Amino acid sequence: MVEKQITDNSDAAASSTEKPANFIEEIINGHLSSGRFGQRVHTRFPPEPNGYLHIGHAKSIALNFSLAAKYGGLCNLRFDDTNPSKEEAEYVHSIKDDIKWLGFDWEDREYYASDYFEQLFDWAVKLIKAGHAYVCDLSPEETRTYRGTLSEPGKNSPFRDRSVAENLDLFQRMRQGEFPDGTRVLKAKIDMAHPNFNMRDPVMYRILHAHHHRTGNDWCIYPMYDFTHGQSDSIEEITQSICTLEFENHRPLYDWFCDKLDIHHPQQIEFARLNLTYTVMSKRKFLTLVNEGYVNGWDDPRMPTISGLRRRGYTPESIRKFCEYIGVAKHNSVVDVTILENQIREHLNAIAPRVMTVLRPLKVVIENYPEGQVEELQAINNPEDESAGSRALPFTRELYIDQNDFMEVPVRRYFRLAPGKEVRLRYGYIIKCESVIKSDSGEIVELRCTYDPDTLGKQPTDRKVKGVIHWVSVGHAVDAEIRIYDRLFTTERPDKIAEGQDFRSNINPDSLEIIEHAKAEPSLAKVQSGERFQFERVGYFSVDSDSTVDKPVFNRIASLRDTWAKIAKKS
Ligand code: ATP
Ligand code: MG
C-alpha cells in the first residue's frame, strides 16, 4: 500500500478551531444514539509490558483517555501480560510513570490480563464442552503446514475430532504440568478453509513452563493474546475497543469467541498506527538499540520513547497537542517528525525563560572598560510573557562570545564580529574588534575590542550596526556540559533498507555531540533537573538528570528553527 507522508500545516490547523468528529467519534455517536451500550463510553489502553512506551503509544493513550473524557466516560489501564518470557515488572512501572507524566489518570482501574487467567481457563473449558475447542498434538511446524496458504485452504488436524471427554482430560493435564513445552496446544475449532487465516483453528493455549511476573509459577499453560485480549475487554465491559489496523483481521476471531461464550461484546475499532520520519517505532527495535549500545538506555534523549522525550525536555503538553494535531485515520501514513519538533518549539517559545550560554567560548577583552568594574544590565526573561520579568546580567571587561560569532575574514553580508567591525552585545553595548590574538599554532585565542559607552539601549545615529550576539562575563560564567542531539537515523524511512541490511545501517553516527566546557550565564548556577530554557540564538535546552552541583548538564531539546528544512532547501 502507498503510504502518504503528513507534513506540517500548522496555519491551517490554527484557523479551524472546532474540529469535525473523526471517524471513531462518529461510530461512538452512532452507539449512543442506538443505545447499544446504553449511554456508556468505556475505553482502555492495553499495553503489553515488554518494553518502554513510545510516541506511537502516546497517540493511543491520548486517543483512549481523551475520548473517555470527551464523552464523560472512563478509560482503564490494562496490562496485556500473556507472554511471561518477555515481560517484566520494570516495564509495568515505566509504563505507569509515562502515562501519568503525559497527564492521564486511570484512577483505580489498573487491570492485568493475568488476573483473568482463571476465568479464561473456565471459558476454554466451556468451549471444549460445547465442541468448539480441541487439544492438538501437532508440532508447531506441522501446525504451520496444516494451516495452508493464502491461495490454498488448510487441512484438518488429525486430532480435531477428539471427544469432549478426552479434550477435557488432556487440557486439565496440560494445566497440571504433565507435558513438556510445545507438545500440545488447545485450538479453537472453526474452519480450516476460512479465507481469514486467523480463523483456521487458531491456538488458544500453549504449554510454557515459565515464571510470570505476577502469577509466578501458578501456571504452565498460557492463553494466547488472541484468546485473551477480546475477553479481557469483555470482562471490563469496554464499549469501544480501539486498536491499530493490524488487528482488523483478528476482529472476526474476537467476535467469534464473544459469540460462542455469550459474553459482553465490545465494538472493536481500528485506526492507523503512528509512524514518524527519521525513526523506527517498535519496542523490539528499541530493545536492539539499547542492548547493542547504540543509545544509552530506553530513556536516551534520542529515543522516541516517552521516557526519552521526557529526558530530552519535551513537555507533556507538546506531545498531547501533537497527538491531537495528527488526528486519527484509517490508512497508514508516515508523519513528518518536524510536526512534533514544531509543537515543542511552539510550547517552549511561550514558556521557556531566555538565557545566554556560549557553547564554544572565545574570550573578548574590552580594552577601554575599567578593570574590576561590574555593571548590571537588565535582560528580559521572556518577551512572550511579561509576567516572567527580567534579571540582571553582570557585564565586565572580560567576556566570552561564541567562536561562530567572529570571522577573521568575513564573508559577504556577515553582520557579526570581524576585525575593525562592530556588533551589539545582547542587552548591552556595541563593541568593535580592534585586534586578534593568536596562539603559536595560529589559533585565534582572544579578541581585543573597545566598547562605545553611549550605545546602551540605544542605536547610534551616525552608523548602522545590524548584528546582535550573545555573551557571558568571564568572571561570572558557569561551566556547563551541553549535549547536542541530532536525529538517530540519517534517512526518512530507516525501515526501508537494501537487501541484506537492516535498520541499523541507517543509524546516524553523529547523533550526539558533547560540548564539555560551554559557558553559561550565572543565573544557571543552580538549576534543577528538568528545567527548560531557551539559550538565546542557540536553541531550547533542558537540564539533564546527570547534572551535578558543580556542573549543570543541558540537553538540546530542539534548535530554534527547523535547520533540516534549511539544509533541504539549500541542496
Ligand atoms: P510495538 O510494535 O512497538 O512493540 P505494540 O503494538 O506491540 O508496539 P502494545 O503494548 O501491544 O505494543 O500496544 C499497546 C497499545 O498501543 C495497543 O493498543 C497498540 O495498538 C497501540 N500502539 C502501539 N504502537 C502504536 C503506534 N505506533 N501508533 C498508535 N498506537 C500504537
Ligand atoms: Mg503488541
CA 109 from centroid of its chain's CA atoms: 24
Ligand found nearest the CA of 57: 1
Residue nearest to atom 25 of ligand 1 (CA): 56
Cα radius of gyration rounded to whole Å, the chain: 31
C-alpha of residue 48 to centroid of ligand 2, in Å:
6
- Is 463 among the residues known to form the active site? no
Per-residue pLDDT, 17? 57
Query: Is 48 annotated in the active site?
Result: yes
Mean pLDDT of the chain: 94
Give the closest ligand to the alpha carbon of residue 56: 1
Domain boundary among 240, 271, 302: 271
Span 274-333, pLDDT tens digits: 999 999 999 999 999 999 999 999 999 999 999 999 999 999 999 999 999 999 999 998
24 contact partners, CB below 8 Å, separation of at least 6: 63, 67, 240, 242, 269, 271, 328
Q: Spot the catalytic one: 162, 283, 487, 532.
A: 283
> Of 48, 236, 270, 481, which residue is the catalytic one?
48
pLDDT (tens digit per residue) in 112-162: 999 999 999 999 999 999 999 999 999 999 999 999 998 999 999 999 999
Whether the per-residue pLDDT at 476 is higher than 50: the answer is yes
**Are residues 114 and 206 located together in one domain of the fold?**
yes
Q: Are residues 361 and 256 in the same domain?
A: no
What pLDDT was estimated at residue 41? 98
* Average of per-residue pLDDT across 475-492: 97
Whether pTM exceeds 0.85: yes
Residue 189 corresponds to which cell in the numbers above? 475449532
**% the chain with pLDDT above 70:** 96
Tens digit of each residue's pLDDT (9 = 90 or more) over 411-456 = 999 999 999 999 999 999 999 999 999 999 999 999 999 999 999 9
Q: Which of 444, 460, 476 is the last residue of a domain?
A: 476
- Sign, CA dihedral 249-253-254-259, equals positive
Q: What's the confidence (pLDDT) of residue 124?
A: 98
User: Is 459's pLDDT higher than 50?
Assistant: yes
Told to judge if 424 belongs to the known catalytic residues of this protein, a careful annotator would answer no
Looking at the CA of residue 242, tell me the nearest atom of ligand 1: 18
Is residue 561 scored above 90 in pLDDT?
no
Pocket of ligand 1 (CB under 6 A): 46-48, 56-57, 59-60, 243-244, 273-274, 281-284
Residue 191 counted as domain residue: yes
If one residue of 94, 232, 242, 244 were mutated to test the ligand 1 pocket, choosing by the most ligand atoms within 8 A of its CB, it would be 244
Nearest CA owner, ligand 1 atom 2: 282
Q: Is the residue at 223 inside a domain? A: yes
Residues 184 and 58 in one domain: yes
Residues 420 and 524 in one domain: no
Q: Verify that 434 and 558 share a domain, yes or no.
A: no
Long-range CB contact pairs, 7-13, < 8 A, 24+:
7/336, 7/338, 7/339, 8/336, 8/338, 8/339, 8/342, 10/325, 10/342, 10/346, 13/325
Give the per-residue pLDDT at 14. Answer: 46
DSSP string, 369-400: SPTT--EEEEEES-TT-GGG-EEEEEE-SEEE
Residue 168, phi then psi, degrees to nearest 5: -60, -45
CA angle in degrees (0–180, nearest 5) for 198-63-37:
70
Same domain, 70 and 191: yes
Rounded Cα distance between 108 and 97, Å, is 15
DSSP class of residue 209?
-
Report CA(192)–ligand 1 centroid distance (Å). Answer: 29
Q: Any idea which ligand is nearest the CA of 47?
A: 1
pLDDT at 88: 86
The answer to whether residue 187 scores a pLDDT higher than 70 is yes
Determine the pLDDT at residue 12: 43
CB 341 within 8 A of CB 322: no
Condensed to tens digits (0 to 9), the pLDDT of residues 356-401 reads 999 999 999 999 999 999 999 999 999 999 999 999 999 999 999 9
Q: Are strands 390-395 and 375-380 parallel, antiparallel or unpaired?
A: antiparallel
Number of compact structural domains in the chain = 3
> Can you give the pLDDT at residue 7?
73
Q: How far is the CA of 504 from the centre of ligand 2 (A)?
A: 22
Return the pLDDT at 26.
Answer: 98
Task: Give the CATH number, domain containing residue 434.
Answer: 2.40.240.10
How confident is the model over 88-117, as pLDDT tens digits?
Answer: 899 999 999 999 999 999 999 999 999 999
Listed residue (78, 68, 64, 69) closest to 41, CA to CA: 68
Q: Based on the fold, state whether residues 52 and 157 are members of the same structural domain.
A: yes
User: Which of 86, 160, 273, 426 does the annotation list as catalytic?
Assistant: 273
Regarding whether 412 and 512 lie in a shared domain, the answer is: no
Tell whether 96 and 222 lie within a shared domain.
Answer: yes
Range of the domain at 539: 480-570
Q: Tell me, what's the pLDDT at 121? A: 98
Asked if 253 and 137 count as a contact pair (C-beta separation under 8 A), the reply is no
Alpha-carbon distance values, 564 to 3, 313, 487, 493 (Å): 22, 20, 10, 15
Nearest in space to 187 (alpha carbons), one of 104, 122, 109, 131: 131
Report the pLDDT value the prediction gives residue 498, as an integer from 0 to 100.
Answer: 81
Q: In the Cβ-directed half-sphere of 361, how many Cα atoms lie within 13 Å? A: 25
In order, the DSSP letters of 57-95 are: HHHHHHHHHHHHHHTT-EEEEEE----TTT--HHHHHHH
pLDDT at res. 571: 39
**Distance in Å, CA 56 to ligand 1 centroid:** 7
- Does the pLDDT at position 566 exceed 50? no
Q: Do residues 449 and 528 both lie within one domain?
A: no
Residue that is written with C-alpha cell 476454554 in the block: 124
**The predicted structure's pLDDT at residue 563:** 59
Residue 134: give its domain's CATH number.
3.40.50.620
Of 271, 297, 313, the one marking the end of a domain is: 271
